[in-house]
Chains A and B, each alone.
Chain A
Amino acid sequence: MPKIIADITMKHIAEKYIDLLGGDMKSRMAFIACAASLRLDDEIAGKSVELVAKTNGTTQEILQQIKKLGCVWSQWDGTWYLAEDVRSYLLDKLEEEVPDNIRLQLRNLLASHADNLAESFSRDGQISAYRNRQAQFEAAYQRILIPEQIEHGAKQFADIWRKAKGTANRATADAVDYLSPEMTKTLHRLPPEILFLRGMSARSRGDKRGAESYFRAVWENGRKGYIYAIAAHLFGLLVRDPKIAEKAFRDSIKWNDDPSHKAQVWHSLGNLLSRNRKRWTEAEHAYNKSIQLDENPSGKAQVWHSLGNLLSKDRKRWTEAENAYNKSIQLRDDPSHEGQVWHSLGNLLSMDRKRWAEAENAYNKSIQLRDDLRYKGQVYASWADGLFKSDTPENYDKAEEFALKAFSLDPENPKTCGVANRVLANIYEFRGDVAKAIEMLEALMETDRKLGKTKYKERLQARIDKLRKQIS
């Protein structure tokens, strides 16, 4: 029981709590010891406190006092933890005030306890699966802060992530990301597994820059191995420089022998190469490689779709493109996927005027299969474009109707709106409705600007100026 409480007005909240415990060295060290663990039970807390604070007969009494503090929270299952604003402060004190050998003993103790705890949970339900994962995570966290066990701890983190399914996967990455600043204080340089998980966390929250930076760091020091291969692949998808992206993809393929992984990366490589006309042959080769390796029909279906998109750029290979699209549709029984492929097929068929009816049929099928209104808007925009390009003025009314429909369904998408603007500008100009044509052309310039397309800016401006002269 504390006899004196000194004036604690200006101190950090954690120091105020230490003073409430009595302010003596034993209580201080005991409280600091509790900060070493992410979550405590009475057993491990007692051992930690005894090790660091040398409490001997008074351990239970001090623990009871600590658990009553306003910054110590109890979970429903009897475990407890320190609030983060207090824990983070005390962690610094753990580094500063507890001798190295004691601190390492403590970390080893916590890691072993966590390992034992993980093994004690039989996998008889979701709750024990979670407890098992959480205990393994605690063990990994402790190990990574022990110099001789950094690699082991890092590998443990990666294993937990790899085995976790669904949102548990993301939760693991986020938890590692959260702990990284405090790990950095001790480690100075984070192991690649931690960087990789930080990248995954950044990717999940939409931080592309952050993800690119972390994956780059892993890739640049990469070697054969699961996380290096994935990091390289994901980095390649994010980085703008196509040369670097290609190198990353090729490294990713080398670093993981799993056929499914290779198939995915070959697909990504194909997508990259298909952007350069001169490398279409290599792109086709990459797609074919992906198709060969992927045993999953669903994966194959996506690659056939991408191959179809590539082949449709070459007039001479339209038949092969059509076959690729049909193959894609057959392989995957998923309305969303099929809807996309029917859309692409519609675009292909609309380029051959003799097959216009089939093109319309394809667009119709796409719209029926997809519930997503924005996606329907994209299809209507493509359909409107095809109708206008048919050069049949009788179709222009329908084209106008579909372009306006595209606006209403997908108003925030500059790509959809751009196509619709272009179609309407052309239709209105054809009809002599100059004011409306100018309006659409200006809107087109804006959507092009949003898409970063500057190629046609001057041409569009010239067209607008010419139309303005007509009405002035």
Chain B
Amino acid sequence: MQLDKPDAREKHAEYAYELILNSWARIGNEERRVTLTINDRNARRAIAEVARGHWTTYALQLKQEDYIYGNQRGRTRLLGTLLAMADLLDLSPVRAGYFRTVHRLYDPEPISELHQTMHDLSRGFEIIPPDPNIPGELQFQLEWNSNDAVVQDISHWALHWFTSQWRQLKPVLYKDSGGSVRWASKWAKITFNPPAVPVQKLSKKALHALNAELAEQKRIDRKEFAEQFQKAFKPSESVLFILHRNSENDGKVLSEWCEAYSRNLESSQVARIDVQPAAVLDISSAASQIIEQWGDHLPECDDEDALAHFNVMLSASQAHNFVIILVTEKYKADLLQPLLENFFERSGNESARVCVLLASQTKELKIIDGVQTHNFELPEISEHDIVDYFCNSLGYNNEDGQTEFNKIVNIGLKSSMLYNYIESFCNKWINEVK
């Protein structure tokens, strides 16, 4: 990886391709970064394309057969897809380079830390037939060095991605190998072992990054809302998002996405409170829950003192962003309006103030001057967006994505239930927690 390029990780396949393609000694120094003794042009091109093909997208674009050396032809796409599959599934601990040395001269970015930790937590893997009587069907068998909730989340995050790529590679591998490379119906089996040795823990930032990634993987559509939400985090912005809540829409998943996204931002204070109709919640108790999540502790006090403390926290904190996720059935003005008004009141502080209110009824809500308010009804997610999700996030082809959608319609599932359906029927791996 070229360390002088900030996007080296995201674009390393393309960079590898260019490196190899321009590796011939006859190419000028401006374009040639490394010199490789691959004198045959076809070989150089084929190697460059296959190297780039360790990414699924590029592997699938390779020709089934192409010239690989002089006038000789080879099954480039088979090679590329095998390489893509191997690279995808290579979770070997040896790739946790950062943690394998005692010399850590820098702190990795949260996503890099997440990747490195994932490798470090991996005990090992094999790609073998799960049933010895059916030797032709393969299964990816992975074992982790821990069985705790965070490791299970890391595994889910990785397997979501792996499965989406596997879905695209599987038919091509099967076809190009003449049927030799095929998979069991549960293509992966994941085992979580109790930790036998101390294992690497994610830092807080990396944990936030993981949760944000998981929430983003899960979210189906709602792009308009997501974009507006992301735009709200600018200095001195005051924004209130009102989402209509009921048990048929995906309000729950959206609230979790908002929370995970916000926590992953630099310098954010995020709090969430759920106000149930039968909660004996007063203003000071509601404020205390927010204050507690922002890292302070409120002594027993009345509403006035609680709000004063709340205001002090808002004005004194160095945080760039303040976020409150507020979930309720019927919006109770006597409880929530003072909180909101104090939250959006400014005394020179330039932080972004964002509130997401999920409520089934907001008749008592009074709009606050100077606060941008956006209403979202959350209608049923459209056919186009569901199929789009199946294709782009889960790796289905168009036809299969449409088939899944038709099943969903026939069953009569609502938006809130899509996620459970996907988890039950579309996650093609087995988890075993020991």
Contact = CB atoms under 8 A, between A and B. Distances in A.
Interface stretch (B39-47, B74-82, B133-141, B419-427): B419-427
Given A125-B288, A126-B300, A171 B417 contact: no
Nearest to A22: B424
Nearest to B430: A1
Interface in B276-331: 276-285, 287-289, 292-293, 297-303, 306, 327, 329
B280 A73 contact: no
Interface in A172-186: 172, 174-175, 178-179
B247 A85 contact: yes
Contacts of B332: 174
Given A9-B412, A123-B300, A166 B284 contact: yes
A133 B278 CA distance: 12
Nearest to B286: A130
B303 to A, nearest CB: 6
A76 interface: yes
B298 A125 contact: yes
Contacts of B385: none
Given A76-B272, A178-B278, A126 B306 contact: yes
Contacts of A81: 274, 276
Nearest to B305: A126
A373 interface: no
Given A16-B412, A70-B417, A166 B303 contact: yes
A314 interface: no
B300 to A, nearest CB: 5
B279 A175 contact: yes
B253 interface: yes
A38 interface: yes
A129 B411 CA distance: 46
B280 A134 contact: yes
Interface string A127-147: 101100110010001000000
B383 to A, nearest CB: 16
Nearest to B283: A167
Contact of B276 (A39, A70, A168): A39
Contacts of A167: 282-284, 303, 334-335
A70 B419 contact: yes
A16 B278 contact: no
A367 B277 CA distance: 43
Given A76-B272, A84-B329, A126-B301, A5 B411 contact: yes
A8 interface: yes
A73 B332 CA distance: 19
A225 to B, nearest CB: 22
A391 interface: no
A86 interface: yes
A10 B306 CA distance: 47
A363 interface: no
A126 B420 contact: no
Contact of B277 (A69, A71, A175): A175
B298 A68 contact: no
A2 B424 contact: yes
Interface residues of B, number: 51
A79 to B, nearest CB: 9
Interface string B13-33: 000000000000000000000
B280 A137 contact: yes
Nearest to A77: B289
A129 B412 contact: no
A170 B412 CA distance: 42
B50 interface: no
B285 A130 contact: yes
Nearest to B277: A178
Contacts of A85: 246-247
Contacts of B416: 69-71
Contact of A69 (B272, B284, B420): B420
A72 B417 CA distance: 11
Contacts, number: 145
Given A20-B421, A73-B252, A164 B280 contact: yes
B282 A171 contact: yes
A188 to B, nearest CB: 20
A451 interface: no
Contacts of A70: 247, 250, 252-253, 414-417, 419-420
A102 interface: no
A171 B301 contact: no
Contacts of B415: 70
Query: Which has the most chain B C-beta neighbours within 10 Å: A10, A69, A126, A137?
Result: A126
B37 interface: no
A125 B297 contact: yes
Contacts of A166: 282, 284, 302-303
A17 interface: yes
Query: Which has the most chain A C-beta neighbours within 10 Å: B271, B332, B412, B421?
Result: B412
A7 B411 contact: yes
A131 B421 CA distance: 35
A30 to B, nearest CB: 15
Nearest to A80: B274
A82 to B, nearest CB: 9
Contact of A126 (B252, B285, B329): B285
A32 B41 CA distance: 69
Nearest to B259: A76
A90 to B, nearest CB: 11
A244 interface: no
Interface string A39-58: 10000000000000000000
B410 interface: yes
20 contacts: A38-B278, A68-B420, A70-B416, A72-B252, A75-B273, A76-B274, A81-B274, A125-B299, A126-B284, A126-B301, A126-B306, A127-B285, A127-B292, A130-B280, A130-B288, A167-B284, A167-B303, A171-B281, A171-B282, A175-B278
> Closest 10 A-B residue pairs measured CB to CB?
A70-B416, A9-B412, A130-B285, A126-B288, A168-B282, A167-B282, A71-B247, A127-B288, A126-B298, A178-B277
Interface of B: 246-248, 250, 252-253, 271-274, 276-285, 287-289, 292-293, 297-303, 306, 327, 329, 332, 334-335, 410-417, 419-421, 423-424
Given A20-B413, A84-B276, 12 more contacts: A2-B424, A16-B414, A17-B247, A20-B417, A70-B253, A70-B415, A85-B247, A130-B288, A134-B281, A164-B280, A166-B282, A167-B283
